[in-house]
Amino acid sequence: MRSLLLAAVLTLTACAQSSVKDDSLYRELGEQAGITRIVEGMLLNVAGDPRIVRHFENIDIERLRDKLVEHFCVDAGGPCTYTGDSLEESHKGLGLTPSDFNALVENLQKAMTAEGVAITAQNRLLARLAPQRGQVLDR
């Protein structure tokens, strides 16, 4: 009977632990304030990047900043909710290429480095963003 009870407790404990959200990347990025600084830095980098700046003309940059902060926060395991359009919808018809995507990633990396984000944390965020590449590029 004791071993059955112990097994039940261990099973319930394991289930409870597996439902706990891992927010370690969110914390490593500096939580909400850090992610906001990273996004703002990335957008400033983009503003000076002739390879991709044209894609950001005539858009509501404040709304873009807010949606990117939400998106990165969710991807990092933070306590946020993304309220924007789907990636497919928001990038539809823009004609984005792999080179455009790579340039944006470079600008994101520069912003994270400027914020002192460790390379391991940068790589973790990029690994979570990478699968979304196909939702952004025109096919």
11, part of any domain: no
Residue range(s) defining the domain that contains residue 106: 22-136
Q: What is the pLDDT of residue 21?
A: 75
7, part of any domain: no
14, part of any domain: no
Q: What is the pLDDT of residue 57?
A: 92
What's 45's domain CATH number? Answer: 1.10.490.10
Q: What is the pLDDT of residue 135?
A: 86
Q: What is the pLDDT of residues 113-130, one digit of tens each?
A: 999 999 999 999 999 999
119, part of any domain: yes
8, part of any domain: no
Look at 28-42, 79-93, 116-130 and tell me which has the smallest mean pLDDT. 79-93
Is the pLDDT at 17 greater than 50, yes or no?
no
Q: Report the alpha-carbon distance of residue 129 to residue 106 in Å, rounded.
A: 13
Total of domains in the chain: 1
pTM reported for the whole predicted model: 0.82
Q: Which of 68, 56, 75, 81 is nearest to 111 (CA)?
A: 68
88, part of any domain: yes
